[in-house]
Amino acid sequence: MSAPFTVTARDGAARTGRLETAHGSVETPAFMPVGTAATVKAMTPEGVAATGCRMLLANTYHLMLRPGAERIAALGGLHRFMNWPHAILTDSGGFQVRSLAALRTIGEDGVAFRSHLDGSRHLLTPERSIEIQHLLGADVTMAFDECTPYPAERGEVEASLELTLRWAERSRRAFVPRPGHFLFGIQQGGVHLDLRRRAAERLVALGFDGYAVGGLALGEGQATTFAVLDASVPLLPEDRPRYLMGVGKPSDLVGAVKRGIDLFDCVLPTRSGRTAQAFTRAGTLNLRNARHAGDAAPLDPDCPCPACTGFSRAYLHHLVKCGEILGSMLLTAHNLTHYAGLMAAMRAAIAAGRLAEFEAVP
**281: nearest Cα among 259, 314, 304, 258:** 304
CA gap 106, 127 in Å, rounded: 15
Helices (H) and strands (E) in the chain, counts: 14, 16
CA gap 298, 9 in Å, rounded: 35
Compute the Cα dihedral for 256, 258, 261, 263 and give only its sign: positive
User: pLDDT tens digits, residue range 312-321?
Assistant: 999 999 999 9
For residue 265, indicate whether it is catalytic: yes
Strand bridging mode 87-91 / 182-187: unpaired
The catalytic position among 11, 209, 252, 265 is: 265
Q: Does domain 5-266 have CATH number 3.20.20.105?
A: yes
Instruction: Yes or no: say if 215 and 164 are a contact pair by the CB < 8 Å rule.
Output: no
What residues contact residue 198 under an 8 Å CB cut-off, 6+ apart?
161, 189
Measure the CA dihedral 157/162/166/172, to 10°. 70
| Every domain range in the chain assigned CATH 3.20.20.105 | 5-266
Instruction: Kindly tell me the burial class for residue 76, based on how many C-beta atoms sit within 10 Å of its own C-beta (0-12, 13-18, 19 or more).
Output: exposed
CA gap 86, 224 in Å, rounded: 34
For residue 194, indicate whether it is catalytic: no
**Before 29, cis peptide (omega within 30)?**
yes
What pTM, to 2 d.p., does this model score? Answer: 0.97
The catalytic position among 91, 145, 252, 300 is: 91
Measure the CA dihedral 286/292/297/301, to 10°. -10
Instruction: Yes or no: say if 293 and 314 are a contact pair by the CB < 8 Å rule.
Output: yes
Q: pLDDT (tens digit, 0 to 9) for every residue of the chain, 362 residues total?
A: 455 899 999 999 999 999 999 999 999 999 999 999 999 999 999 999 999 999 999 999 999 999 999 999 999 999 999 999 999 999 999 888 777 766 789 999 999 999 989 999 999 999 999 999 999 999 999 999 998 889 999 999 999 999 999 999 999 999 999 999 999 999 999 999 999 999 999 999 999 999 999 999 999 999 999 999 999 999 999 999 999 999 999 999 999 999 999 999 999 999 999 999 999 999 999 999 999 999 999 999 999 999 999 999 999 999 999 999 999 999 999 999 999 999 999 999 999 999 999 887 65
